[in-house]
Structures are given as C-alpha cells and as structure tokens.
Amino acid sequence: MTRHAALAARYGTPLYVYDLDEVALARHELFTALPDGAELFYAFKANPHPELARALREGGERGCRAEISSTGELAAALTAGYRAEECLYTGPGKTIGELHEAIGRGVRVFSTDSVTDVRRVGAVAAAHGVVADCLLRINSADASATTSIRMTGTPSQFGFDSETLAEAMPSLRRADGVRLAGMHLFPLSNARDEDALIGEFEHTIELAARLSAALELPLRLLDIGGGFTAPYGVPGRRGSYPNLRDRLETALDRHLPGWRSGAPRIAFESGRFLVGAAGTLVTEVSNVKISRGRRYVIVDAGINTFGGMSGLGRLMPVAVALELEPDGPTERGTLVGPLCTPGDLLGREIALPADLEPGDLVEIPNTGAYGVTASLLMFLGRPAPLEVLLRSGEVVSASRIEHHRSHQPVPYARTVVEAGALG
C-alpha cells in the first residue's frame, strides 16, 4: 500500500496530504533565486493552514513573513507563530472594524489602495495612539510583459494609478496616524516565462525609483510582488528562475543603490510557488458510469473540495490531470465530483487509469495552493476534507475545517420590522 493509500485508509477521503519537507524545499529554492537579503511574504490566500504557514516562517533569515488580507488570515498568521510586526495587511476594502482588530493586535504595515484607505488606516492608528506604515500600492500605467493575468496598466480596484499619484500626494501627506513608508506592486501572477517576469520586475524597480524621486516619497520598503509559477492540479514542477537573482541585483544597484544596506528593504510575495507542490488531494471513486458512450468517474471530491474558484474564470481554471504509471493501461474519462450540478467537473475527457472502480483512489497532484479554502466549501453541505501534514514521512497534524451556523440573539427583530428596515 502506498503512503497516501495508508493515510486514506486511516483518515478517510477526500483527504489533503501536505508534505512539509516539500514546503521547506520550495522556500529554499525561492530564497535562493531572489536577490541577497530580500524578504519574502507568504500570501496566506494560497493556503492559510497554520502549520503549513508555520513551516514557511522557520529558517531564520530565510523565513517568510505574512501577507494577509482579513482578520481570519491575521488569526491564522498569529496562530502559526508570526509576530504581528511580520505581517503586511493588504486589500482594497479594509473596514474600520478590521483595522481596529489588526492594529489592536499589533499590525503596523499596510498596503493601501486609495486616499480613503490611507486616511482610514491613519484614523484607526491614531485612535490606538500609534503610527502605521503605509505602502502605496501602485497600478502602473505601462507594463513591460504580457502574461496570463495582468493586474496593472488597466483600471483596477487595486492601487493608485501611477500617472495621477502626484495629485493624491498632498492629501496623503496630510493624513494623520500614518507614515508613508514605500510602495507595493503586484503586476502579475503565475509567470511561466522567466524573461517576462524579470522584465516586469525591472520595470517595477525603475518605476518605484522614479516615483520616489519625483514625488519625494520615502522608500523604506519596496514590495515588488511575485508571480512565481507552480502547476495546479496537474503533474509537473514549479518554475525555476536561474537568472532572476543576478538581473535583479543589477537593476537594484542601478536604480536603488542603497538596497544592499537596507535602504530600501526589498520584498517579494508568493503563494502557489511555496505550497502548491506540497499538496496531494486523495479522493475515492464512488461510481463509474457510462452515458452515451462517455465514461464518468465520480469521485468524492468536487469543486466543494478543490478548484471552486475556477468559477471566477480567470484565476485558475481547474483541469486536473493525474500522475499515471508509465506503462499502465489508461482510458479516457470525465472526472467529476459528487455535487448536484453539472459544473462539478474536475477534468473533461482526461487520461485516467483503465478499469477504475468504486473504492479505488484517485490522487490529484500539486494541490497545496488554492485548494480547500479556495473551494466552494459550503456548497451542498458536505464536510470539509481532512488535511494531514507530514514531516519526514510522519503525520504531524490532522485536522478539518468545521462550519456551523452560530445563532445570534434577536431581541430587536420587531423594532427592525417596524422601522421598515426589512422592507
């Protein structure tokens, strides 16, 4: 029996298995590819499992910080051992309530997307008697590379448009409770082409240096984003970036010569590259049926367990493929989940082992990022999958996300109805 089959027998399916050794390896690979002394923020969005995040923080100088965007991710980061000062809080719609919680718990660095956002961070920081560092997220007017997802150069809820930032500066400078501390750019995601990625980073460095000089904007921290690639639900290896380090060091020496002594500090961000390959989703075949000549293999994990976000149509379309035995017989089939919707499709007419039967296991590789929490967990009311973590082949954690309805007192229901608030 394989290790995954043994785990499935012990814990049941669907089951996510994460290998912490693989997480450590990915972290090592990425730090090695980055300029000397660069900082790396782990994007909790990719997988907020605290034990996975904890493994990314280990490693001293080469440990990750946390990029978070909600109070839930903040709680996960603190549980995982990140100190609040190691967190960068991002997002275009921060509310006063969440800012009170974040600042109250010690978060001091925010990526901000508008004048309102900066003012709001400042007002809450001032109410707590502290000063918060704001990075200005920049939506660059021009771009250097073409990639799958462009998040700059077009209208966006993210960031300040670079061409009109100058007009916003007087208001930004007047905001209480904040110190303008640098810039944040995140121009692209999942870049398979190293040259394109480097080109984008070079553009970012040049733009940040230019804006900082032209607007006298202090640059203590420059977060130049990420875009490091990893396969999603298909076999394969994460990206490799053999030239990145040298070329970025050259660009930094040219445009921001103080960077080697930490002025500015340089930071990157990554989610999928760090955790994608660590995960395998182990599912069990519940049924195999033929409909008008097409073979349907129904497994116990659907878009409630993996790939629900593909409904967004742009982030990560799910089209899984399996790691097959080199000489094993295969047969096409459509891999679907158990949900009562034809949209519960994992892979259409893909190569599957021949003769799959109910009770057989199907393993979907590279599912450590954008798995559980990027799925339609509540849809159709099935339990969330179990998540098991291995270190050196040993299980070190096994848990499951629970969702339940929490009833609130309703003493004012009558008043609300009378006031017409429901009508």
- The distance of closest approach from Cβ of residue 157 to ligand PLP in the complex, given in angstroms and rounded to an integer, is 12
The DSSP bridge partners found for residue 398 are 388
> Residue 139 or residue 190: which is nearer to ligand PLP going by CB?
190
> Residue 224 or residue 285: which is nearer to ligand PLP going by CB?
224
> Residue 44 or residue 259: which is nearer to ligand PLP going by CB?
44
| The token pair that represents 341 in the structure block | 């919707």
Residues 6+ apart with CB under 8 A from 192: 229, 239
- The distance of closest approach from Cβ of residue 186 to ligand PLP in the complex, given in angstroms and rounded to an integer, is 4
Q: Is the distance from CB of 53 to CB of 76 less than 8 angstroms?
A: yes
Cα 9–Cα 56–Cα 134 angle in degrees, nearest 5? 135
What whole-number distance in Å separates Cα of residue 153 and Cα of residue 164? 13
> Residue 77 or residue 285: which is nearer to ligand PLP going by CB?
77
Residue type for 306, please?
A: F
- The distance of closest approach from Cβ of residue 124 to ligand PLP in the complex, given in angstroms and rounded to an integer, is 21
> Residue 73 or residue 300: which is nearer to ligand PLP going by CB?
73
What whole-number distance in Å separates Cα of residue 347 and Cα of residue 337? 10
Q: Is the distance from CB of 177 to CB of 197 less than 8 angstroms?
A: no
φ, ψ of residue 106 to 5 degrees: the values are: 110, 0
Single out the residue of 14, 8, 24, 21 nearest to residue 320, CA to CA. 14
User: In terms of residues, how long is the chain?
Assistant: 423
- The distance of closest approach from Cβ of residue 296 to ligand PLP in the complex, given in angstroms and rounded to an integer, is 31
Among all residues, whose Cβ is closest to ligand PLP? 271
Residue type for 67, please?
A: E
φ, ψ of residue 403 to 5 degrees: the values are: -120, 135
User: Which residues of the chain form contacts with ligand PLP (CB under 6 A)?
Assistant: 43, 45-46, 67, 90, 186, 189-190, 226, 228, 269-273, 369
> Residue 11 or residue 44: which is nearer to ligand PLP going by CB?
44
Q: Is the distance from CB of 188 to CB of 145 less than 8 angstroms?
A: yes
| The token pair that represents 126 in the structure block | 């001032």
> Residue 191 or residue 356: which is nearer to ligand PLP going by CB?
191
- The distance of closest approach from Cβ of residue 346 to ligand PLP in the complex, given in angstroms and rounded to an integer, is 20
The DSSP bridge partners found for residue 388 are 17, 398
- The distance of closest approach from Cβ of residue 410 to ligand PLP in the complex, given in angstroms and rounded to an integer, is 37
> Residue 134 or residue 386: which is nearer to ligand PLP going by CB?
134
Residues 6+ apart with CB under 8 A from 121: 94, 99, 103, 110, 112, 132, 134, 177, 178
- The distance of closest approach from Cβ of residue 126 to ligand PLP in the complex, given in angstroms and rounded to an integer, is 26
- The distance of closest approach from Cβ of residue 392 to ligand PLP in the complex, given in angstroms and rounded to an integer, is 26
Cβ count within 10 A of residue 402: 7
The DSSP bridge partners found for residue 287 are 298
- The distance of closest approach from Cβ of residue 276 to ligand PLP in the complex, given in angstroms and rounded to an integer, is 8
> Residue 35 or residue 271: which is nearer to ligand PLP going by CB?
271
